[in-house]
């Protein structure tokens, strides 16, 4: 068997099991389009007694929440809510909050609507550097 491929971990996110990050601290890590989704997440998690959102990260273009609750039953309920929020984030543009989709051709997938995706690509110097090899679409050198 060959050597296992080393993967580089993205540690650029707010997450801790011992420290609870506030909603504002979490929102600063993402673009403003997920603000309403974060509001809904905090409201729904607050319905589970003692549960709280400890942190979050972008995981394959989805909003992933880390939740904590004092016992197993409430932990499962909070994780169910977090799972639903994660699935909803797949359909929400991170840039503006409108309907969007995951742009999986990017090296680091992000959810964007067409307008925000176009703006994102035009804001960087070399748009082709943002795509995975072989995923350059109409811009490939033929």
CB-based contact 63:89 (threshold 8 Å): yes
Question: Which pLDDT value is given to residue 60?
Answer: 86
Q: Which of 24-28, 85-89, 93-97 has the lowest mean pLDDT?
A: 24-28
Question: Which pLDDT value is given to residue 97?
Answer: 93
5-37 tens-digit pLDDT: 444 434 444 444 456 677 787 888 888 899 999
Task: Examine the pLDDT at 85 and tell me if it is beyond 60.
Answer: yes
CB-based contact 44:86 (threshold 8 Å): no
Distance (Å) of CA 108 to CA 23, 103, 128, 142 = 23, 9, 13, 25
């Amino acid at each position: 068997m060959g050597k296992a491929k080393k993967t580089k971990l993205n540690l650029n996110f707010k997450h801790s099991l011992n420290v609870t990050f506030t909603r504002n601290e979490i929102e600063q890590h993402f673009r403003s389009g997920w603000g309403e989704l974060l509001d809904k997440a905090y409201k729904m998690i607050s319905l589970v007694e003692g549960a709280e959102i400890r942190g979050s990260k972008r995981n394959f273009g989805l909003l992933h929440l880390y939740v904590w609750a004092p016992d197993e039953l409430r932990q499962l309920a909070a994780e169910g809510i977090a799972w639903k929020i994660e699935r909803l984030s797949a359909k929400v543009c991170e840039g503006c909050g409108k309907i969007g989709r995951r742009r999986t051709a990017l090296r680091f997938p992000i959810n964007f609507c067409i307008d925000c995706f176009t703006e994102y690509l035009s804001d960087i110097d070399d748009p082709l550097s943002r795509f995975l090899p072989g995923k350059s679409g109409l811009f490939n050198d033929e």
